[in-house]
Structure 1
Amino acid sequence: MKKYAFNELTVFQYIYLIHGAQVGIGVLSMPRELAEVAGTDGWLSILIGWFAAMAVSLVIIGIMKRYPGKTIVDLQPLFLGKWLGKVCVAGIAVYCGFASFTVMANTAAIVNTWILSQTPIYMVVILLAIPAYMVLQGGLRVLGRYAELIFYLTLWMPIVLVTVLPKTNWLYLLPVFKEGWWPILAGTKSTVLSFLGFELAFFLYPFLQKKQYAVLGIVVANTLSMLIFMNITLFSFVFFNPDEILQYTWPTLNLWKVIEYRFLERMDIIFLAFYLFYLSTTSFPYLYFSVFSSSQLFGAADHRKHLGIALLLGILLLWLYTPTFMDLLKWKQWWSTGGLLFGYALPVLAFVPIWLLRRSVKE
């Protein structure tokens, strides 16, 4: 019997889990971050980041194909031995837990700034922790269904955004390559990090029912994320002039603020309310695999106790200390550094010895 048969995922759930993990807080600030470095040529940085994420994603699938019944947690003791393997599993748990905590803290800060300005940040996190526990206690299959549901519930967003087209000026994008390739390549750092989430394939592959579609699934997930990033970035670049966009912390929210209907004025509030679901599809998978790793590390069959402890620790930390905007930026940078190591460096470094080992066996 398969070790993870109870929590098997369909191809669509696999796609939406990876896509949901990628499209998080980066969408809100990406247009400004790209404009600061690459100007209106920043949309080209998205294509380069997408290509890099696709290449590393295929490397991850290539590694996992050789061990179809094992997650990255199972592989660490196999490759590194018992004790060093446990240290690496602990590091993976910390990485995933910190990523989830960073997304939740940023989500609470956005809600605190945009809607509930008089509400303490820890109270907002408590409200976010309740659905997190309700979804994640059911295991990966429930999480996959949740990611699939949220994807369909938010399909209307790109369609509504088209209503700003009459107010746009596409001449802002010209000329292309204003300052050459260097600013575009420099902006790629932001986009490469925004595609983080594909590394969860290290965990998801053993749960996939039809593993022959793993490559297709991760390609579709990365491409969906690229289209979302491109959509919101291009609309921001042609709506705000090149100097104006630099004035907004979250230009995406300011873009939605100008959309009005006769029966509805604050469309940005509706967008943010639905976007909170999208943010949850980023934080929930990281939180689940953090407690999945920690429970495997301590030999616990039930992850719910670890889940409850992780959520309580997050709430307690934000109750004792309210992070500033600079703190949140610093946490994102730390997560980005960990993501570069776990998401990009680790697959490439692991693939080389595995390939050499298989080659020597064949010879």
Structure 2
Amino acid sequence: MTEKNISITKFQLFFFMIQSQIGIGLLSLPNVVQKTAKGDGWISTFIAGVAVQIMLVIYWQLLKRFPNLIYTEITQKILGRFIGKLINIFIYMNFILIGGLITILFIKVINLWLMPLTPNWIISILILIACIYLTISDLRMIARFFVLATSLILLLWFTSLLSWFTPKEIQYILPIGSSGFKNILLGTNNSLLAMLGFEGLLFLFPFIIENKKGVLKTISMANIFIMIFYTYFMILTLISFSPDQLAQMREPIINLLRGLSYKMVDRVDLIFLSIWIVPMTTSCVAYLFLASKSMNVEKKNYQKVVLMNGFIIFLITLIPYDDAIITLFNKYVSYLNYAVVFIIPILLLILSFLFKKHEMSESA
């Protein structure tokens, strides 16, 4: 059973969901999605948001049957100890590998745009020290920090309004649907990977101290915010750059701001990126927290587990990598991710109904 002395409100849950989903993936999303969906990339992003909403409803149905258990406890409750623990190993590997991938991408952005001469291992240490320091704190402190950090996401939206004064070409997204259904679905896959983080609900649900009847509404509102936020930036970048330009830009969102210059403020993109370090860090914190929680350790050993997982992520970032290796790493991690985030929860819900399993039933 989970500890009851650590709790969050539905208000904090809303911002936790947002912060765990928005981060490093947003910066390169238009480039990745445009490769397949072209001008219909914004449709792919919208469909991905709908898919996330469907999964949130499935999560809700599963968690209602086990309101005091986290994901890795539910697996053992339904599948038995042996199979449950085996599945939990894959769940842990998924979160630790995603944490490593996010940190690698984080380092790459910092190294490319802000500190090109700084060794990657130094940037990695600085990032992970901040992440470990926050993750070691209790869940309530993490949630409070995520609430404050959301203001920086709103700052990005406000800054993006300035880019509307630059030339725009609506023809880049017309005619709607011209890319074809298959390519739009391929773009949806890339959008889904950028929106991951909502699976944190599977670990946060037992710690919500208020009436859980309003949780589905809370997480749905968070998802709608994410869907609108991502779709907005997809449309903005698609009409700001030609397809050829987008194909050559690693982080189109940053390039969107690069052209802005004022008498008192120059290189808005670098100012933004310096601030955006915080939302990128929250994504790392979220996955470090999920990896540590998935190990089902006692509270007194939690800090040691966080330190160990932080060190493992650091070792992952030391592996020599280039764009090809990162692409391959991302490909295989995404396979594991789909299993942990989509397939396993769906199977658990089906089996819980077939075997009439719920929290009050006897362990298998």
TM-score by length of 2: 0.92
Residue number in structure 2 paired with 1:301: 300
Q: What residue in structure 2 maps to residue 222 of structure 1?
A: 223
Residue 224 (structure 1) shift? 1.5
Which position in structure 1 is the counterpart of 2:69? Answer: 70
CA distance in 1, matches of 2:103, 2:179: 37
Structure-2 change in CA distance of 1:293 and 1:185 (3 Å): closer
2:345 matched to which residue of 1? 347
Matched with 2:86 is: 87
Offset from partner CA, 1:220-250 (integer Å, 9 cap, x none): 1211211221121111111101221111111
1:159 Cα deviation from its structure 2 partner = 1.4
State the 1:317 CA deviation: 4.3
In structure 1, C-alpha distance between the alignment counterparts of 2:157 and 2:203, rounded to whole Å: 30
| Number of the residue aligned with 2:27 | 28
Deviates most, 50-59 or 255-264: 255-264
Moved more, 176-185 or 206-215: 176-185
Report the secondary structure of 1:70's partner residue.
coil
- Output the amino acid matched with 2:22: V
330, 333, 337: which one aligns with 2:331: 333
| CA distance in structure 2 between the aligned counterparts of 1:3 and 1:85, rounded to whole angstroms | 17
Q: Does the 8 Å contact 2:2/2:70 carry over to 1?
A: no
Corresponding letter in the other structure for 1:123: I
Runs of 4+ in 1 over 4 A off after TM superposition: none
Q: CA deviation at 1:205?
A: 0.7
Q: Determine if the alignment matches structure 1 residue 190 to structure 2 residue 214.
A: no
Aligned residue in 2 for 1:206: 206
The one-character-per-residue Cα deviations of 1:147-174 (angstroms, maximum 9, x if unpaired) are: 1110023312111211111222223222
Structure-2 residue corresponding to 1:51: 50
The offset of 1:300, in angstroms, is 6.0
Shift of 1:5: 2.3
Shift of 1:7: 1.5
Q: Does the CA contact (< 8 Å) of 1:125 and 1:315 recur in 2?
A: yes
Partner of 2:180: 180
- AA at the equivalent of 1:352: I
Sequence identity (%): 23
Code of the aligned partner of 1:216: K
Deviations 1:82-139, CA, capped at 9 Å, x for gaps: 2322222222222111111111111011101111111111110111012112211112
Q: Which residue of 2 aligns with 1:163?
A: 162
Q: Distance in 2 between matches of 1:16 and 1:132?
A: 17
SS of equivalent residue, structure 1 residue 323: coil
Is the CA contact (8 Å cut-off) linking 1:154 and 1:274 kept in structure 2? no
Instruction: Choose 349-358 or 40-49, whichever is displaced more.
Output: 349-358
Corresponding residue of 1:61: 60
Q: Return the letter of the residue paired with 1:47.
A: F
Is 1:12 aligned with 2:14? no
Q: Is the 8 A contact 1:32 1:250 kept in 2?
A: yes
C-alpha distance in structure 2 between counterparts of 1:327 and 1:142, whole Å: 36
Counterpart CA distance in 2 for 1:130 and 1:324 is 24
Q: Quick check: 66-75 or 327-336, which moved more?
A: 327-336
Aligned pair in 2 of structure 1 residues 137, 36: CA closer, same or farther (>3 Å)? same
In structure 2, distance between residues paired with 1:24 and 1:34: 16
Unaligned runs of 5+ in 2: 358-364
TM-score (norm 1): 0.93
How far the C-alpha of 1:342 sits from its partner, in A, is 1.0
* Partner residue, 2:266: 265
Return the alpha-carbon distance in structure 2 between the equivalents of residues 309 and 355 of structure 1: 37
Higher mean alpha-carbon deviation, 154-163 vs 350-359, is at 350-359
2:362 equivalent in structure 1: none
The letter for the 2-side match of 1:35 is Q
Shift in Å, 1:255? 0.9
Q: Could you tell which deviates more after superposition, 106-115 or 321-330?
A: 321-330
Aligned length: 356
From the superposition, tell whether residues 27 and 317 of structure 1 become closer, same or farther in structure 2 (CA, over 3 Å). closer
* Counterpart contact for 1:71–1:205, Cα < 8 Å: yes
